[in-house]
Amino acid sequence: MSGMRAEIGFIGLGQMGGPMAARLLADDVRLHVHDANPGAMAGFAARGAVAHGSARGVADAAAVVFACLPAQAISLAVAEEAAAGTALRVYAEMSTIGRETMAAVAATMAARGVAAVDAPVSGGPPGARAGTLAMMAAGAPEAVALVRPWLARIGRAVFVIGETPGMAQTMKLVNNLLIATNLASAFEALVMGAKAGLDPDLMLEVINASTGRSMVTETLIPKAVLPGSFDFGAATAIIAKDAELGVAEARSLGVPAWTVEQAARLWKLGVLEGYGRADMTEVIRLLEKWAGAEVRSRA
């Protein structure tokens, strides 16, 4: 960069966006940020970032802008505003919004001569804080090449999925359908074992030495469910949204999704029962309540 600071923007400083944006704070970057919550921006401003009152303000200042937002409608609205920015050249959408919505974002950008990169991430808030996220990217090769160095600062590995925005969204949904289904099935199986009198710690020890093991049983349940902390960091409403998006994607492609449809119902029920803003691991409480048994460490 020949001693010059890169003008980089980041819109959305929530549970995922905040830690990701923080990894772009560096001597060779002037970071421009915006969030609907002024308090979220204040912390960044204190560390040298430039806070803006709107997405347009960020796009007027930065050539490369990342966005990490909680819902499809918000992503569309923010993209429409940012596309009019006078400095913006590449817009990287990091939200999980599905293939069709990503295509709409890309079309909005293309109408203004801005390249769009489909750039969802996987690893949850813990991965965002630790810098171990899996980063995905889809878009025109030259646009992906521009954002790839910044993605590499944010996460552990960057996977180029294809040249069409929306392909990375599909890859993200494949992953999230698996985690949504794995969690739901693990919750049910472990509650069954607890109801039968099995020790939860021993169940996990056996499972993780056997064929039923997964990231859910090896990491997520031991750290967030057994101690009753329920602090993985991802809200139930988010996984419910992603599961619904994944099921819709499968239907649009004519692919049977009977198993994940059932898992999606559990997450939707969790939201309806008031767990939307709670950690996704806390949904196991619904099953525990019905069964009259808890999956907690006896240590």
Residues with Cβ within 8 Å of residue 272, at least 6 apart in sequence? none
Task: For residue 128, give the nearest of 14, 10, 245, 44 by alpha carbon.
Answer: 14
**Largest pairwise CA distance in the chain:** 66
Is 72:48 a contact under the CB 8 Å cutoff? Answer: no
Angle at 77 between CA 72 and CA 82, to 5 degrees: 120
Q: Alpha-carbon distance 228 to 211, whole Å?
A: 25
Supply 227's token pair.
């101690």
Distance from the Cα of residue 209 to its chain's centroid:
29
Residue 93 sits at φ, ψ, to 5 deg, of -90, 110
Q: Tell me the C-alpha to C-alpha distance, in Å, between residue 168 and each of 164, 174, 228.
A: 8, 10, 34
Q: Whole-angstrom Cα distance, residue 240 to residue 168?
A: 19
CA atoms within 13 A on the CB side of 261: 8
Q: Is residue 289 among the annotated active site residues?
A: no
Phi, psi of 65 (to 5 degrees): -125, 130
Sign of CA dihedral 232, 233, 235, 240: negative
Contact 105, 76 (CB under 8 A): yes
- Running DSSP on this structure, what letter comes out for residue 251? H
| Residue indicated by tokens 């921006």 | 41
- Of the candidates 172, 195, 223, 268, the residue annotated as catalytic is 172
Q: Tell me which residues are annotated as active site.
A: 172
